[in-house]
Structure formats: C-alpha cells, structure tokens
Amino acid sequence: MFSSKSVKIPETLKKVAEIFNRNGYSVYLVGGAVRDMIMGKGVHDYDLATDATPEQVMNIFHKVIPTGIQHGTVTVHIFGMHLETTTFRTESDYSDGRHPDKVEYARTIEEDLSRRDFTMNAIAADLKDGTIKDPFDGMGDIKRKTIRTVGNPLERFGEDGLRPIRAIRFAGQLGFTIEKETLKSISNPDVIRKIKSISIERFHDEFCKIMKCEKPSVCLRLLEDNGLMDIFIPEFKVCRGCIQGDKRGFHEFDVADHNFYACDGAPKDNLIVRLAAFYHDIGKPESRTTETIGKIEYIHFHGHETISEKKCRASMTALKFSNDDIKQVTHLVKNHMFFYESTWSDSAVRRFLIRIGIENLDNLIYLRLADIHGMHNVAAVPGSPTWNNLVELKERIAKVVSEKSALSLKDLKANGNDLMNAGIPKGPHLGKILAELFETVTESPAMNDKEKLVELAKNIYEQKIKAKQE
C-alpha cells in the first residue's frame, strides 16, 4: 500500500505516456490520483504534469481543449478520457486569493510540486512506469495520516484562501489529522482575511463535499473552532452553548453538537437530508423557553421548526444553493417535528401525506432517524419503539397509496371543466369549490366519484356561493 518506489499505471495512460515520450517530453501523474493510488483507493480522474508547453501538447494530440491555457493548462481528450494537463510551473503573488498573478514554466517536476498545497498532494508518478517522485515526504504523511502544507503554512494559505477549507475537508474525507502548525495557521488573522476573500461559490462546493464525508461533524467542528463557520454561516453561532437537556433525558448535547451528530446520522449519499440535518434545529436558540414544575426545570422549543426554516432559507440562499435544493431542504426542516401515533385515523395519515408530499416521505423519515442519532450520537436500533413507530407509519402510508386515495387536486375524479359543464359558472369560486371537494375526499375517499363530486359541487355552489350573491 505504501510502496516507496512506484504505483501501478493503467495501460491506457501508459499509451498516453508513449505519445509524450515519443515526442521528446516527460509526463507525470499528479495530485489526488497519486495520493489515492498510494492509499489503495479507486481512481477515476487523472491530472497530468508535463514539460511540454500547452502549444506543444496541442500539436501532438488530435483533440485538445484550451481549458486554462493562461495558467498552462489544457485538457486532452483521448481513449475516452479527459486528461487535465498542465505544464510544469512555478507561481508568485495571489492578489485575488486564488489565481497567481504570475505563472512561469519550470524545468523539473520537483519545482512544479513545490507550488502545491499539501505534501500528500505533492507526489508525482512517472506516467510510463509509475516511478514515484516525493520531494516533500508526502508518502510519509499519508502513512501517518497527516495533512501538512508544502513548506510554510502561512505562505501556502496566503496564496489561496480556499486551501484552509480544503485542509479541513480532507481531514473528514480521508480520516486524517491536520498537523499542529498547519492547523494553527488556519485561524491566523492574515489567513482569515484571505479566506474571507474567496467567492461564496468556492466555499459552497467545499461545504457540499464536507457534507458527503463519512462524519461531517469532524469538519464542521473544525470550521467552527477556527472561526470559519462564523464567516460563511453566521446563523449557526448561537447554537453553541444552547442547552437542551433536562430531566426527561431527550438530549445529551447542546444544539450545535446535536446538529453535527445529526449530520453524521443522515445517509452519506443524500446531500438534501444531510443539509436538512445541519439546519433542522438552527432556530432553537431563539425559541428556547423554560418552565418550572415542582422545582424541576423543563426546557421547551415550541415552534422552532418555523424559525429554523426561515434561517435555513436565508443561509442556503447566501451560500448560492439552487432554488430546488432550498425548496427541498426547507420543506424537510419545516416538517421534521411530526409525531405519529397508532391512534391516527386514516384521514389523519392522508392529511400528513398531503402536507409533506409522497415524494418527500423517505427523506423526512431519514431526517427523523438523523435527529434521533443526534440526541445521544447513537443510531436508532431496528426493533426499538421509535424504529417500529416509523415502520408502522410507512406501512400505513403504503396502504393509503395502494388505495389510490386523492393526494392532490389533480387526483379528484371531477375537475373545473366538469363543474362548468354541470352549470356552475366560471369564476374564482371554482377553486374554492374544488378545495372543499378535496377536503371531503380526504375525509371520505369513497366520495371520489365523478357523479358524487359534481352533485356535491352543485350543492356547495347553490348553498354557499349563489345564496350569498343573491
């Protein structure tokens, strides 16, 4: 796994190496692909570094896209792969906090590796045989599971304000620890100013990657401890220290840690639920009240889901999430405080399903399980009362769906045209009548019959609308 000599290069990439070498150029595999190969992980994206200039690369390959030619980068399309290929280079001055003001081509791969962010990413493998170049002991840091900058961390972080956030993301993604001086530098005032200069879109992309880590809580706590959460999600600050636990024993942690652990308990491959878990209780501090009964203090958060929805919407909008993502996440946050009981009537189950939408049911169940996980940092156990309660709810909903109950106006057997054909004149009252028909069918599914609905609509019109008009 930690060979000090070479990694195995795929045969198709060896063919690419032959083309470079045949034309007198060297070429290396660099970046995350090499790191992941050393760690024994699967690799799907390959980045190359070469001593050939972009123009020379374009001359030796048939299809090359000049994706970042001003920075020495082109993308070679060959053998079904898209290979981002960059000329060996050195960089200086990053006035915009991201792009170098000056790019100069370097002579060797070692010079090129010296400009990279972390030692684990500053390893190259010769594309023809996989021979490793590791001038900064990146392999040693991988073995030690350590994230360390190449050279002075203040200099590396001063070049690109995203690098500290990437260090935090890698910590969660790889299960590594950030080296002491590297970690200390993240909260340096000069570095914080550089971090503040990055675009929201760049933070958004890293935040989504953080949310897909095995345990987002690791990264979220690092963001918070180093002051980065305050920069990008200031709404979260009041959650720290907001105590929830009382005599009832529902909660072990404050709101901040509860939300962090809820993220851990949400499905790793479901970004919408992970985001909902992060935001679901963010409104609790503003709704917190206490009540003393017989010398025992009880803590309440009545209506916190409404405040959480509002704060979630504001934060996700500021972070440039799509309207669809915001709609889905805020809907889950708003509705996460449901309490199903076996005593619910069938009509109550139908009303619940109508309110949340069948398309949101699975995600809402996942969020409830994540919420439970966040209470004590322990997952709900299959067969437990809580688990069985949710299983029963899903079974009852499945029954409602199998009965083809009307779950929206479009499911009614009679529509606006049917009512007008029955003599009810066109007008705004049609919508009110259809809403009342839907309410009736929700209570009594057997009423979802065209003739019954048309007759009922005529009665509603005569008694509630026409009578008032006269």
258: pLDDT strictly greater than 90: yes
Residues 374-407 have pLDDT tens digits of 999 999 999 999 999 999 999 999 998 888 888 8
Average pLDDT over residues 9-33: 97
145-232 maps to CATH 1.10.110.30: yes
Residues 320-357 pLDDT 10s = 999 999 999 999 999 999 999 999 999 999 999 999 99
β-bridge partners, 316 = none
Q: Are 191 and 197 in contact (CB under 8 A)?
A: no
Residue ranges covered by each domain of the chain = 11-141, 145-232, 246-405, 409-469
pLDDT of residue 190: 97
pLDDT at 455 over 50: yes
pLDDT of the residue at 404: 82
DSSP, residue by residue, 232-276: H-GGGGGGTT-----TT---SS-HHHHHHHHHHHS-TT-HHHHHH
Amino acid code (one letter) for 146? T
Residue with the larger pLDDT of the pair 443 and 272: 272
Whether the per-residue pLDDT at 1 is higher than 60: the answer is no
Mean pLDDT, range 163-188, rounded to an integer: 97
Q: Write down the pLDDT at residue 313.
A: 98
Query: What is the band of 97 on the pLDDT scale with cuts at 50, 70, 90?
Result: very low
Lowest mean pLDDT among 99-108, 118-127, 242-251, 256-265: 99-108
Q: What is the pLDDT of residue 42?
A: 87
For the chain, the average pLDDT equals 92
* pLDDT beyond 80 at 185: yes
160: left (phi > 0), else alpha (psi -120 to 50), else beta? beta
Let me know: does 178 contact 166? Beta carbons within 8 Å: no
Q: What would the pLDDT profile of 218-246 be if each residue is shown by its tens digit?
A: 999 999 999 999 999 999 999 999 998 77
DSSP E strands in 331-467: the ranges are none
Q: Is the pLDDT of residue 408 over 90?
A: no
Q: What is the pLDDT of residue 375?
A: 93
Q: Which region among 261-265, 362-366, 448-452 has the lowest average model confidence (pLDDT)?
A: 448-452
Confidence of residue 104 (pLDDT cuts 50, 70, 90): confident
- pLDDT given at position 247: 77
Average pLDDT over residues 443-461: 90
CATH 3.30.460.10 fits 11-141, yes or no: yes
Determine whether 452 is exposed, middle or buried from the number of CB atoms within 10 Å of its CB (0-12, 13-18, 19+): middle
Q: Which residues, other chains included, contact 417 with Cβ-Cβ below 8 Å and sequence gap of 6+?
A: none
Render pLDDT for 29-43 as a digit per residue (tens, 0 to 9): 999 999 999 999 989
pLDDT on residue 470: 56
Residue 438 has pLDDT above 60, yes or no: yes
- The pLDDT score that the predictor gives to residue 252 is 86
Cβ–Cβ contacts within 10 Å for residue 380, how many?
Answer: 19
